[in-house]
Structure 1
């Protein structure tokens, strides 16, 4: 009986190592699939929060979501950066209306600006790619004093499903959660099976 128990423990340990190895490989594959290089000719969107307070950061995300929902409608068909510039410039007033509407809906009286110009960006590491600091063509939304943590994405080509500011890809994050859940349930199931076998 002791020999059988040792064999079962050995098998169980081997299974755990195999599962953890599989999970690591899966996570790396997801990350690699979502690595995106920003081309030299690109137009970014940057949103600066008033401050780093939870309320101001939450407000930034609310505005981000509404602006993203709108810009997704008119950037997907853009084929050249020249055309992208024309379309974006023609839509600046609409972006201003969205920001003003969100501030009014939430009941915040912060001032804001919407500009389309050369905008200063800090250095950012996304995956194993470093995006150097510098001036980049961008739509800049500044809320209040604009001293809080920023969020940015790429308007053209349309890559705003990726949050470069946090180095996260929403789809990858979701896949990772699903993988983690599947692995957890698998390990628990194996454990219960072995426990029932050993102790009846």
Structure 2
């Protein structure tokens, strides 16, 4: 004959809730972080969206075409920085000079420079998200303009060397510190 034994339940409701509670906390923290990112990206994206934009489209996706594009982008950004334009009407007068500088930097590749409303794909700038939009801009197209500009997603300094160089010049080197180490030093030191 089989012996009887007591069946124990694996916890009551309180123990089940105590087991689920850390997961719920984790999910709430993730939701809070996502909301914070959305709020922060909206503010940064609005600032960048209002700025005048320049887009250089490469002839193709080859490394050589991207290097030519980098040279042309450097020349165009140099001209725009020197001009320090305050109104969009001054850009129209600068287009012939931009075309000559871009043709010189392109090494014989035909160049088209257009000013006006242009479509820009979505982009992450300075922690903010700029949705795809049409905006007032200068578009420089090299050759056939078949470059996808995927290179820009990987190496943004190739596409916009002026912005990256300006940011590097403005920022001073700060020593790298870690919060936990600094906190421990404050407790014991």
Assess same fold via TM > 0.5: yes
1:124 aligns with 2:123: yes
- Of 167, 171, 187, which aligns to 2:168? 171
TM-score normalised by length of structure 1:
0.52
> Where in structure 2 are the equivalents of 1:1-200 lying within 5 Å?
37-38=47-48, 40=50, 42-75=51-84, 78=86, 84-103=87-106, 108-148=107-147, 149=149, 161-162=162-163, 170-171=167-168
SS in 2 for 1:142: strand
Question: Unaligned regions of 5+ residues in structure 2, if any?
Answer: 1-43, 177-189
Structure 1 residue 126, shift from structure 2 partner: 2.3
Cα gap change, 1:55/1:170 in structure 2, threshold over 3 Å: closer, same or farther?
Answer: farther
Higher strand fraction (1 or 2):
1
Structure 2-normalised TM-score?
0.55
Greater RCO structure (CA 8 Å; 6+ sep)? 1
Q: How many residues align?
A: 125
Name structure 1 gaps, 5 residues minimum: 1-34, 79-83, 154-158, 184-200
CA deviation profile, 1:66-102 (whole Å, cap 9, x unmatched): 22222111126x2xxxxx2111011100101101222
Cα-to-partner distance string for 1:21-45 (whole Å, 9 max, x where unaligned): xxxxxxxxxxxxxx682253x3211
| Greater C-alpha Rg | 2
SS in 1 for 2:144: coil
Q: Considering only aligned residues, what root-mean-square deviation do their CA atoms show, in Å?
A: 3.3
CA distance in 2 between counterparts of 1:172 and 1:129 reads 21
